[in-house]
Structure 1
Amino acid sequence: MRSATIKDVAERAGVSLKTVSRVINNEPSVHARTREKVQREIDALGYQPDPSARSLRSTRAYAIGLVYDNPNAHYIINLQRGVLAACRSSGFGLQIHPCDSSSPKLADELRELVHRSRLAGLVLAPPMSEQPALIHALSAAKVPFIRIISAREDPADGSPCVYVDDRDAAYAITEHLIQLGHQRIGFLWGGREHRSSQERYQGYADALKDYGIALDRKLIVPGDYTFDDGFRGARKLLALKDRPSAIFGSNDEIAAGVLAAAHSDGINVPYELSIAGFEDSPFSKQSWPALTTARQATEDIARHAAQRLIGDLQREANGEPIDSRNEGFSPELVVRGSTAPRHSAPSGRGARRKPAT
């Protein structure tokens, strides 16, 4: 069967093609009853507007781009799902654009992407969303965008964003470990180009300070948001003479690498070593024991960001004021089997103890 067309919708609703177009574009000039009638026929026919064809027929663009650079595949998949859901509900197309966030020509690359692909705007994921020079260049070029950033509160810098309070969630994880009796808590960084890494580290450091625990630099290991860096970082920490009794990985991939390193050394988790991650990715649920983590609703965050961008584009096209309120998200602590009360001082690397009964 052929796909329904805009002409089919117009004929069944008894209205003009222009009226159907106005309903699809969410223009305010359509009477509520007419809008309801047209939408009913759109739903009945299963009509899906073609963003490319709409853009060719109009001076407006009906597709947006998602720009990212992140080694965490699960984060990227959830990011794509969220943006795609917003695009589908609004009749917009989506172009996914992975890139090198360290490229000195990134601003030129994104300007060319918008021009060549006739994109209405961009959703910028970290770390691009947190680069002031790039944001300035896109603003100067009048490229509409929205940023997903790590921040404790609305940055109020004039640009639209969705912000995530990584610091507060990292504080909650560290506090959870401290309240279990852990004093020596290792911390494994994610990529330093991501502000989320700094925010998660700061939450860790703030919790130690508030509980009167001295920050030990030997317990802090740089790295990236990968399983391999989690494994390597954990091996360094577990080789210490006075090794930590708990390790906080900046994301779940890192924490899963820590868990693998502990298993390879015959260390019982959580009896001898508590482990926590961040994000609540499949790694956290599929590990054994399952990982204590912070649930970050990446798909919802991305969907809200795309909805905000599309909404602003539509309001601007209709001559309406743009919404200046930015939305914030706070990841929530999820306690699972990888953390437990500290039983006794940890021994040296590879030393075994009586397993938990």
Structure 2
Amino acid sequence: MTQEPKEQASGTPTLQDVATRAGVSSATVSRVINGGDSVRKETRSRVMRAIELLDYRPNLFARGLSGARAYTIGLAYDNPNAYLIVAALQGALTACDDLGFGLHVHPFNSSAPNLAEKLRDFSNRLGLAGIVLAPPVSERSSALMSLRDCKIPVALVLSSSADPGGNSPCVYIDDRNAAYSITAHLIHLGHRRIGFLKGGKSHHASAERFDGYREALRDYNVVPSEELIVQGDYLFDDGFRGARRLLSLARPPTAIFGSNDEIAAGALAAARSDGLQIPHDISIAGFEDSPFSRQSWPPLTTARQPEDLIIERATRLLIAHIRGGKVENEGFKPELVVRGSTAPPRREA
């Protein structure tokens, strides 16, 4: 059967063009597009066929201005880790599919001075009902204030001590206590010289995880050492370079805690390049339980932080908020997962 070719329009096809092609009123086309159930099956088929032939794309912003209810939300992120991006997308889609919403996903530069403008344009151009903001986008207070001033609903994923202000629904991540648990685990194994590879400064979670590390050292009477702390970003290469720096010390650490699994995987590679055996010569731990932790050898001790579940929760909160339901913020503490990359120190190098 030969497929009927799409018609070549002289300009962008309009809703009235679809109505004319289908032989119905523009109001009928609007009801079909917005999911109305008062249109006969045969009429709906004609309208959908006309939309296909004309390659008509509804103007979502115009629909919003006309009072039509939007059933699409956005997910805004700024994270170079592809694993986390895919997990976040899966979580948001799970909630949207379950609750009958569409999803638009877009990366943003959270450090850009025009972030607020970009987020407003993202919402207005697509006629979004609201936006889920993943960190560090969710941590930019000026952008949040701008979105609230424009009455654009948002749901936020934040570290537990962050104060977003306003009444936006939030999922809070207890990064500090999770990092405390990892550090305490290393101390219980007998480690006293524990290196710490910090994450990017633009993430609030970086400071939280570092604070958890320091609090555990203090509570267990382990004297901190500035030479064991290396600033970096949430990247494999930064983990590799940071670990090489720690391993070159006159008294290198017997354990290294990377602020995420990608950093920790880089540290593991650096230790291997120096001929060290993990965990016999040095223990290494990460954070987040990403595929980096499970695909490394040995698998990394880490803190399980399922990004898909967290974003799914935030998405459900946002949709409940949009629908006017009662919304209560949620908390999440990453769970310590002990694997083969940590063991008691054999010796202090």
Instruction: Say yes or no: TM over 0.5.
Output: yes
1:73-84 aligned within 5 A = 73-84=82-93
**Could you tell me how far 1:91 is from its partner in structure 2?**
1.5
- Which residue does 1:353 correspond to in 2? none
Distance of 1:172 and 1:240 partners within structure 2:
26
**Could you tell me how far 1:152 is from its partner in structure 2?**
5.0
Residue from 123, 128, 141 that aligns with 2:150: 141
Contact 2:108 2:137 in 1 (8 A): no
Secondary structure class of the residue paired with 2:252: coil
Distance of 1:67 and 1:236 partners within structure 2:
35
Secondary structure class of the residue paired with 1:67: strand
**Could you tell me how far 1:166 is from its partner in structure 2?**
0.6
- Which residue does 1:304 correspond to in 2? 313
- Which residue does 2:171 correspond to in 1? 162
Distance of 1:165 and 1:273 partners within structure 2:
27
**Could you tell me how far 1:153 is from its partner in structure 2?**
8.5
- Which residue does 2:132 correspond to in 1? 123
Q: 1:121 to 1:81 in 2, by over 3 A?
A: same
RMSD over aligned CA atoms reads 2.1
Secondary structure class of the residue paired with 2:106: strand
Structure 1, 202-211 or 134-143: larger mean CA deviation: 134-143
Is 1:199 the counterpart of 2:202 in the alignment?
A: no
* Matched residue type, 1:334: V
Structure 1, 65-74 or 175-184: larger mean CA deviation: 65-74
* Matched residue type, 1:335: V
Residue from 94, 101, 118 that aligns with 1:85: 94
Secondary structure class of the residue paired with 1:126: coil
Contact 2:195 2:255 in 1 (8 A): yes
Distance of 1:92 and 1:125 partners within structure 2:
18
Contact 1:146 1:309 in 2 (8 A): yes
Contact 2:169 2:321 in 1 (8 A): no
Contact 1:154 1:163 in 2 (8 A): no
Is 1:231 the counterpart of 2:234 in the alignment?
A: no
* Matched residue type, 2:240: F
1:258-273 aligned within 5 A = 258-273=267-282
Is 1:325 the counterpart of 2:328 in the alignment?
A: yes
Secondary structure class of the residue paired with 1:294: strand
Is 1:340 the counterpart of 2:343 in the alignment?
A: yes
Task: Provide structure 2 residue ranges, at least 5 long, that are not aligned to the other structure.
Answer: 1-30, 38-56
Matched residue pairs, number?
295
**Could you tell me how far 1:158 is from its partner in structure 2?**
2.8
Task: Provide structure 1 residue ranges, at least 5 long, that are not aligned to the other structure.
Answer: 1-16, 24-51, 316-321, 347-357
**Could you tell me how far 1:159 is from its partner in structure 2?**
2.4
Please give the per-residue CA displacement for 1:260-304, whole angstroms capped at 9, x wherever unaligned.
000100011101100000011111111111100000021111001
Contact 2:159 2:173 in 1 (8 A): yes
1:237-248 aligned within 5 A = 237-248=246-257
Please give the per-residue CA displacement for 1:31-76, whole angstroms capped at 9, x wherever unaligned.
xxxxxxxxxxxxxxxxxxxxx8796496111111110111111111
Secondary structure class of the residue paired with 2:323: helix
Contact 1:63 1:120 in 2 (8 A): yes
Contact 1:154 1:326 in 2 (8 A): no
TM-score by length of structure 2 reads 0.80
Contact 2:197 2:231 in 1 (8 A): yes
Structure 1, 248-257 or 106-115: larger mean CA deviation: 106-115
Distance of 2:189 and 2:197 partners within structure 1:
20
Show structure 1 runs of 4+ deviating over 4 A. Answer: 20-23, 52-58, 152-157
* Matched residue type, 1:181: G
* Matched residue type, 2:286: G
- Which residue does 2:121 correspond to in 1? 112
